[in-house]
Amino acid sequence: MAWVSDQIDAVKSIQIRQLVHQAVSLGMIVTSALIIWKALMCFTGSESPVVVVLSGSMEPGFKRGDILFLHMSKDPIYAGEIVVFNVDGREIPIVHRVIKVHERKDTGEVDVLTKGDNNYGDDRLLYAHGQQWLQRHHIMGRAVGTLRIGAGPL
């Protein structure tokens, strides 16, 4: 009888060891992912260095599900660049093209107007109420690379 209880105790200790091993492994994976994300944030200068296109407003250039890599620098923003921006009052970032750039002579600050390639008009209806232009603090980054996951319909 003692042999059976010894065997049961051995099995329990193995299960506990495996459970602890799996928990530590999971913790290391999560910690590694967070470290990589924070490193990308520092390297790219963007609060969100990777985003996913969620709508068809930029088709045919970008399709739903495409992954964009962002970079944010102090360089001037030009018309024609693809930017990702947040609008006050909305949590989901928007991926659109800059169509106009307006530099304020008194402060040197730059305001931009955006538009989705597949949209009829500019984005002023998407901006916060009464907002006509985006300021630099709204822009999360510029698209510098893309990864298309699926080929999509033929």
Active site (catalytic) residues: 57, 96, 123
The answer to whether the CB of 76 falls within 8 A of the CB of 98 is no
Distance CA 79, CA 60 (A): 19
Residue at 111: amino acid letter: D
Q: Tell how far CA 113 is from the center of its chain.
A: 21
Question: Which amino acid is present at 91?
Answer: E
Say which residues have a Cβ less than 8 Å from residue 144's Cβ, sequence separation at least 6: 69, 70, 71
Tokens of 114: 């955006």
